[in-house]
Amino acid sequence: MTDALSITRDLVRCRSITPIDAGALGVLEKLLKGAGFETHRVTFSEPGTADVHNLYARIGSEAPHISFAGHTDVVPPGDESAWTLGAFSGEIKDGFIYGRGAVDMKGGIACSAAAVLQYLADHGGKPREDGKGSISFIITGDEEDISVNGTVKLLQWAAARGEKFDHCVLGEPSNVDTLGDCIKIGRRGSQSGTLYVDGIQGHVAYPHRASNPVPDISRLILALSDEPLDHGSAQFQASNLEFTSVDVGNSTNNVIPGQARAKFNIRFNDLHTQASLRELVEARLAKAAGNRIKAHIAWEPSNSNVFVTRPGDFTNLAVAAIEEVTGRKPELSTSGGTSDARFIASYCPVIEFGLVGQTMHQIDERASVTDIEKLTQIYRGILDRYFA
């Protein structure tokens, strides 16, 4: 069956705990092949990581080319005995379909697939009557894990084949409270690091023979945290640096430690690049440490860059499709964490719009049946406008 609810059910019943596929990609591939898509199952791996299976499917060979993206892998279900219905049951109760991934984001993928199949059935199996236009699916399997063998590599593989994307809709659960309240048009970047402060280990009874790094790292934490990195930009809220742990590795109370360290994460907006951000924080550290405190930062590698899709024709047609179905004009937002859109943005403008995210990653994750029906209508409205 090709309706969105049936596809959601079939996907949820695949126990695709990241990075295991468990048949989820096969569900989609069968549907898309039957509609005339050329499909490719592509597997990537790196030393020390598990193989990740991905799916790329396309119908049409010319521009304009719109792609629907998503991931079929899910986080672990937790205590399965605590679920009202089975964690991978796909059962319906009181107007909701239950199961891990129903919201994040098998439900969104199912809606896009159903909308595309319905659209093609109404248009003679082609995106446009003149033979132009393309529709594709970028479906990956490790978004909930380390995100190295999924979207980033599948996009590289597609580009090497000569694939060019004009626009993309990522079906992440972007809505906060109600379907139609929010479109994600960008995300802040993410950069982590560890602050190290070196001292001299010694006995607590003889502090003059030691140099305690604990007071020093406390001062530096305050110095780096207190001054804002910026005050926000036209599309983004202010960047923020948050310390998440402080440790000296000391198991006794009569030894002054020789080193203290503190982990932190920065969510940064489009006023910074990773390089300029690091330079700014390093300069503030040097000023606060002076010549007395010995401190340095070890930066972690990061592929979470800031991106934004500027409001324009593409966002306008999405807003119009949402308003038509829900009666709501969505906010164009850049809030929240990271997603695979950070990779897609290097290839084409991308927006995120899916189901309501209130129960994602929770026990009893569930999606409203009504929302699934409406999201399918919204995606259909996007297609109608895109190829008009």
Which pLDDT score is estimated for 2?
Answer: 58
Domain extent listing, the chain: 4-187+306-386, 189-299
Which pLDDT score is estimated for 337?
Answer: 79
Per-residue confidence in pLDDT tens, the chain, 388 aa: 459 999 999 999 999 999 999 999 999 999 999 999 999 999 999 898 889 999 999 999 999 999 999 999 999 999 999 999 999 999 999 999 999 999 999 999 999 999 999 999 999 999 998 989 999 999 999 999 888 999 999 999 999 999 999 999 999 999 999 999 999 999 999 999 999 999 999 999 999 999 999 999 999 999 999 999 999 999 999 999 999 999 999 989 999 999 999 999 999 999 999 999 999 999 999 999 999 999 999 999 888 889 999 999 999 999 999 999 999 999 999 988 789 999 999 999 999 999 999 999 999 999 999 999 999 999 999 999 999 9
Residue 128 CA to residue 66 CA, distance in Å, equals: 12
Q: Considering 143, 144, 172, 270, which one is annotated as catalytic?
A: 143
N-term to C-term CA, the chain = 28
Q: Considering 73, 340, 352, 365, which one is annotated as catalytic?
A: 73
Q: Catalytic site residue 143?
A: yes
Specify burial of residue 302 (Cβ count, 10 A radius: 0-12, 13-18, 19+).
middle
Question: By 3-state DSSP, what share of the chain in percent is helix, strand and coil, each rounded to 5?
Answer: 30, 25, 45
Q: Catalytic site residue 279?
A: no
Output the CATH code of domain 189-299.
3.30.70.360
State which fold the 4-187+306-386 domain adopts.
Answer: Aminopeptidase (3.40.630)
Residue 72 CA to residue 15 CA, distance in Å, equals: 10
Residue 387 CA to residue 291 CA, distance in Å, equals: 63
Three-class DSSP category at 81 = helix
Residue 61 CA to residue 131 CA, distance in Å, equals: 9
